[in-house]
Amino acid sequence: MQITLQTIIGGVSLGAVYALVALGFSLVYRTMGLVNFAHGNVVTVGAYLASTFYLSTKLPFALAMLVAIAVTGLIGLIIERVLRPLENRDFDLMLIGTIGFGIVLDALVIMIWGATGRAVPSPVPSAPIEVLGLRIRTYDLVVLAIAAVATVLLVLFLSRTKRGAAMQAVAMDHEAATAVGIHVGRSNAIAFMIGAGLAALAGGLVGPLLYVSPALGGTLGIKGFAAAILGGFGSIPGAIAGGLAIGILDSFTAGHFQGYSELVTFLVFTVIIMVRPTGIFGERTVNRA
Amino acid sequence: MRTKIAVGAGLAVAAWLLPYGLDSYAIHVVNVILIFAVLAVGLGLCMGVAGQVNLAQVAFFGVGAYATAILTTHNGLGFWVSGALALVATVLIGLVVGTPALRVQSHYLGIVTLGLALAFTNWVTNAQLSGGAEGISAIPVPTLPGVDLSSEYLYYYLELIVFVLALAFGLFVVRTGLGRRLRAMRDDSLAAGALGAEVPLLRMTAFLLASVYGGVAGVLYAGLIRYVAPESFGIANMFLLLGMVIIGGRQSLIGCVVGAVSLYLVREWLADHPTIAQLAYGAVVVLVVVFAPTGLAGLPERLRDLLRRRRGESGTAARLAPFRPYAERAGQTSGTGTPILTVSAVTMRFRGLKALDEVSLTVAPGEIRGVVGPNGSGKTTLFNVISGLYRPTGGRVEFLGRDLTGSSPYRLARAGMSRTFQNLRLFGDLTVEENILVALDRSRTLGAWRYLLGPIAVLRQDRELHRRARDVLDRYGLTEFAALAPKSLPYGIQRRVEIARAVAAAPSLLLLDEPAAGLNGEEVRQLSEIVRSIRDSGVTVIIIEHNMGLVMSLCERITVLAGGRIIAEGEPAEVARTPAVIEAYLGDSMDSDDLPSIPEVTK
């Protein structure tokens, strides 16, 4: 029991990161019906930016993160702008377009930061605290707190602001949204920007947990996607639940299958998609694939 | 034709002489390029022709290469035996990877296949059997009596032969029945199903083809490099391969080959700066999807279009010829005999909404039945239930005396049901003639083995289909439009093409969903003549229509739906007097009843 609980706790912080990645995927998907295959690469860029500002310019961790979010937000805007001519026309082509952007970002990361990775020290004291005999790293708590705050802010934005409501409208019916005067392109651009910002947040947070390398985003991207699917693509509570579930699954498979943990995770994910493509909280109305 | 033969002969001679002008490194590059070309053709078949997003092509390649390596080094089998077994293994894996396509499409399929490809790399990097990260070296040289295949110059000829066969087979598939059905499914899987294309089997066929090409490439690779390691089959090469197919033009196999050759050459040229090469081809992929979605293969066509527009030439001056009625079938009396269609107490619920409420109706053979009702009364939903697009929540649908409730659309189509759609669902990237050919072709997907064992028979059958298609086009006055894309035609002609296509499937029951929508008065008159002639040739017709003039003059019996219930049924004049009908028609008609596009995922 103790070991199981410890495994779960070990998975939760990575799970929170997956949830942030999944939120980015879901937000873009529910707004424009597109899976952004460059999302994982944006995570990598975010991780490198945050760690660069944190390590070399000695900015405080939080500030470094904000700079990273701003820069990747810009990248998101660029991706959306370039692919806009394809919106609502050919999703397969758009999907390939985002893969193209992923290839470009991957090359840029290697050009700027090199092919080797870097370790990022934890910004908070690393001694774990003990609660009821369970060891919890303080940094895990930081990750959880930030992820929770980001989610709450996102939900408030979507439900309480005019811009957010407009995005919800586009998600439900882009033609009707156009008819009542909503600028669909701008709404999509904001979704992409926020999605990229969430990716940077995830990348920045994961830096001290994992080794930052060009391959980081690939794994995080696909696990984040698995999380989004598991929860129900396009659903915000689904992304959170899915992220935590994948994190915990990861932690278990790493313990039981060592090197094969990725294999097991992907197989489980494939089976889930076959059995229930709409996920746990799937909202059929937003499913457009 | 003559220029094509000349170009082909020129290419053959050039390919034959190529090794004489190359040093040993260059021939190695050429050999690798040929392998990528085979892979690209396979990916093009799956993604471009059949529209199945497949990001696991590089894993198929890996399975073929690894299986050959393992069987030769661990089990001591000969190279060719191992190669054959490796091909079988690849096909099995291909079918496994393809199964998700039965449930999900597009993005979901992309991510699942990508995930499975990553799972494969994860396995080979960790497993003892595959030599872990070091891979497997010392794969024996393939033996061929009298030929020393350890020479890359001679290996080139082996690869060349395999490549030419692979490409020729691919083109053969694309240009005959199977390829047409695959392309039809890509353009509109719903309409393809309604015409009898076995969509699930076709999707598996796409993955089968992709895996065969991947496996062949893998075996060739194992014989050429004689060393396999995980990084050759990783995600980077998958995206490179994707770049080749997209840049070359995914819908054209020749384009895929051109893309493979050019992209690999550019990469080789930038071999000292691999990241710059990656940056460049990533950027080109983005530019291609936005500005030239048909890739390099589509460029000549676009240039020609541009030139034509420069010269101020407008579109073709093709004219619609009059419809030539069918020969009347003698002894047909309408409204008698056992019913062809019996719908009993069908209920269809969409979550809270009851679109159909205990609807029952019977249609006698040889009848023209009208289904009318205000917008949103459930007419199209009824059609969708009858034609198998929806599985009703309750009730039964009997067709030709058989209970076919909830059968898949292609089974119903093969049983003799055909339909048109309210919002026109023609296959956009097929020509008008090919649209008809898809409907005429009743061969089963399982019969595709004939592509390997009896290609002559396939060709003969295809020629026969073309002849019948010309007949159909001529009858409907569409001959001059045969080679045009449906999208380029006026709306009224597109409607006629769709009817011709539905009838070409030789149905015993034809469902027409608002065939007169958007037609002018003259076109409506022609439509009425066409429908009557179709019925006289022995086909039962059910027609949904808002044009009351047409319905009143054409139909023998009319069924009136309102709010998902049948409120009246009988002869036109009698129905028009029913108070309930008058009330329903004077009520509001604010709702729209577009044909619901059912998302793949929720099916």
Question: What count of Cα atoms within 13 Å lies in the side-chain half-sphere of residue B435?
Answer: 34
Nearest by CB to residue B108, choosing from A100, A259, A277, is A277
At B426, list the tokens.
Answer: 């023609």
For the stretch B238-253, pLDDT in tens is 888 988 898 888 888 9
Nearest to B524 by CA among B546, B550, B501, B552: B550
Query: Tokens 């053969």, residue?
Result: B172
Torsion angle, CA of B463/B469/B471/B474, rounded to 10 degrees?
Answer: -130
For the stretch A180-211, pLDDT in tens is 888 888 888 998 999 999 999 999 888 888 88
Nearest by CB to residue A96, choosing from B123, B275, B289, is B289
Torsion angle, CA of A162/A165/A166/A169, rounded to 10 degrees?
Answer: -160
Tell me the C-alpha distance between A187 and A198, whole Å.
Answer: 17
Determine the number of helices (DSSP H) and then strands (DSSP E) in chain B: 23, 10
Say if the Cβ atoms of A99 and B53 lie within 8 Å.
Answer: no
Query: Tokens 């995927």, residue?
Result: A25
CB-CB neighbors (< 8 A) of B278 in chain A? 103-104, 106-107, 110
Say if the Cβ atoms of A273 and B104 lie within 8 Å.
Answer: yes
Nearest by CB to residue B110, choosing from A95, A97, A274, is A95
Task: Answer left, alpha or beta for residue B597, where phi above 0 means left and psi between -120 and 50 means alpha.
Answer: beta
Query: Is residue B156 in some structural domain?
Result: yes
Domain that holds residue B33: 25-297
pTM for the predicted model, two decimal places: 0.86
Q: Clarify whether residues B183 and B286 are in a common domain.
A: yes
- What is the set of domains in chain A, with CATH numbers? 2-116+138-286 (1.10.3470)
Q: Clarify whether residues B347 and B292 are in a common domain.
A: no
pLDDT at B599: 44
Q: Clarify whether residues B383 and B281 are in a common domain.
A: no
- Pick the residue of A263, A269, A278, A286 with the most B CBs within 10 A to test the interface with B by mutation: A263
> How many Cβ atoms from other residues are within 10 Å of residue A275's Cβ?
8
> How many Cβ atoms from other residues are within 10 Å of residue B316's Cβ?
12
pLDDT at A23: 92
Nearest by CB to residue B601, choosing from A94, A101, A289, is A289
Q: Which of B297, B328, B352 is the last residue of a domain?
A: B297
- Amino acid identity, position B581: V
Give the contacts of B175 (CB within 8 A, at least 6 positions apart).
none
Tell me the C-alpha distance between B109 and A267, whole Å.
Answer: 14
At B99, list the tokens.
Answer: 């199964």
Q: Clarify whether residues B195 and B76 are in a common domain.
A: yes
Tell me the C-alpha distance between A229 and B328, whole Å.
Answer: 56
Q: What ipTM did this prediction achieve? A: 0.84
Q: Identify the CATH number of the domain in which residue B244 sits.
A: 1.10.3470
Query: Is residue B329 in some structural domain?
Result: no
Q: Clarify whether residues B49 and B158 are in a common domain.
A: yes
Question: What count of Cα atoms within 13 Å lies in the side-chain half-sphere of residue A257?
Answer: 17
Query: Is residue B54 in some structural domain?
Result: yes
Query: Is residue B79 in some structural domain?
Result: yes
Say if the Cβ atoms of B601 and A111 lie within 8 Å.
Answer: no
pLDDT at B335: 52
Rounded mean pLDDT for each run of 10 residues along chain B, 603 residues in total: 86 86 88 94 92 91 93 87 92 89 80 86 86 84 82 88 93 91 91 90 92 94 90 87 88 90 89 86 88 84 84 68 78 65 87 84 90 86 89 88 87 90 89 92 81 86 92 89 88 90 91 88 89 90 88 89 86 82 62 43 39
CB-CB neighbors (< 8 A) of A218 in chain B? 235
pLDDT at B592: 41
At B391, list the tokens.
Answer: 């599985």
Nearest by CB to residue A289, choosing from B108, B276, B279, is B108
Query: Is residue B331 in some structural domain?
Result: no
Q: Clarify whether residues B400 and B512 are in a common domain.
A: yes
Q: Clarify whether residues B364 and B278 are in a common domain.
A: no
Task: State how far the alpha carbon of B477 is from the alpha carbons of B3, B326, B524, in Å.
Answer: 32, 13, 16
Cβ proximity of B285 and B491 under 8 Å: no
Q: Clarify whether residues B268 and B184 are in a common domain.
A: yes
Say if the Cβ atoms of A103 and B115 lie within 8 Å.
Answer: no
Three-state SS at A63: helix
Query: Is residue B587 in some structural domain?
Result: yes
At B499, list the tokens.
Answer: 């009817």
Cβ proximity of A241 and A281 under 8 Å: yes
**Number of domains present in the structure of chain B:** 2
At B399, list the tokens.
Answer: 């067709």
Q: Which of B241, B274, B297 is the last residue of a domain?
A: B297
Cβ pairs A/B, distance under 8 A: 140
Min Cα distance A179 → chain B (Å) is: 16
Cβ proximity of B223 and B149 under 8 Å: yes
Q: Clarify whether residues B38 and B168 are in a common domain.
A: yes
Query: Is residue B521 in some structural domain?
Result: yes
Min Cα distance B268 → chain A (Å) is: 17
Q: Clarify whether residues B252 and B390 are in a common domain.
A: no
Q: Clarify whether residues B376 and B265 are in a common domain.
A: no
Query: Is residue B523 in some structural domain?
Result: yes
Say if the Cβ atoms of B602 and A260 lie within 8 Å.
Answer: no
Nearest to A54 by CA among A132, A129, A120: A120
pLDDT at A285: 39
pLDDT at B103: 78
pLDDT at A84: 86
Give chain A's residues under pLDDT 70: 1, 126, 280-289
Cβ proximity of B59 and B116 under 8 Å: yes
Q: Clarify whether residues B241 and B364 are in a common domain.
A: no
